[in-house]
Amino acid sequence: NAGVTQTPKFQVLKTGQSMTLQCAQDMNHNSMYWYRQDPGMGLRLIYYSASEGTTDKGEVPNGYNVSRLNKREFSLRLESAAPSQTSVYFCASSDAGLAGTADTQYFGPGTRLTVL
């Protein structure tokens, strides 16, 4: 069991470039999440997906898009990167139910992104 995997581990972009962060989980979880972590800010939710085919905005969605490709995979896209998006990005998954029942979230190792 690999748990939650993320690619790439590190990325440097120039302002205006685009990229997609990939996330996959092998725990058969329904829900998946994207967070960003900035110094002194904790983790803040960007988008989440309660099930295949659904996505919802979190606290800081501006500048990002997501795709829930299938039950295993949830990608985060930056269409036109900005220096303010320099951050560490974490993907997580949980077995939270479609009815909104909460459960533990398990995290990937993170992607460290720098936008110049």
Partner 1 sequence: AQSVTQPDIHITVSEGASLELRCNYSYGATPYLFWYVQSPGQGLQLLLKYFSGDTLVQGIKGFEAEFKRSQSSFNLRKPSVHWSDAAEYFCAVIPDGGSQGNLIFGKGTKLSVKP
Calculate the dihedral angle through the C-alpha atoms of 35, 57, 60, 33, rounding to the nearest 10 degrees.
0
- Using CB under 8 A as the binding rule, whether residue 113 contacts partner 1 is answered as no
In the region spanning residues 59 to 88, those forming contacts with partner 1, defined by CB under 8 A, are none
Give phi and psi for 85, each to the nearest 5. -95, 5
Please report, as residue ranges, which positions from 2 to 21 form the binding site for partner 1 (by CB under 8 A).
4
The count of chain residues that interact with partner 1, using the rule CB under 8 A, is 28
Residue showing tokens 């460290």: 112
Binding window for partner 1 (CB under 8 A); candidates: 11-19, 43-51, 69-77, 79-87: 43-51
Nearest partner of 59 among 41, 80, 77, 74, judged by Cα:
41
Footprint on this chain of partner 1 (rule: CB under 8 A): 4, 30-31, 33, 40-45, 48, 50, 56, 58, 90, 92, 94, 96-97, 100, 102, 104-110
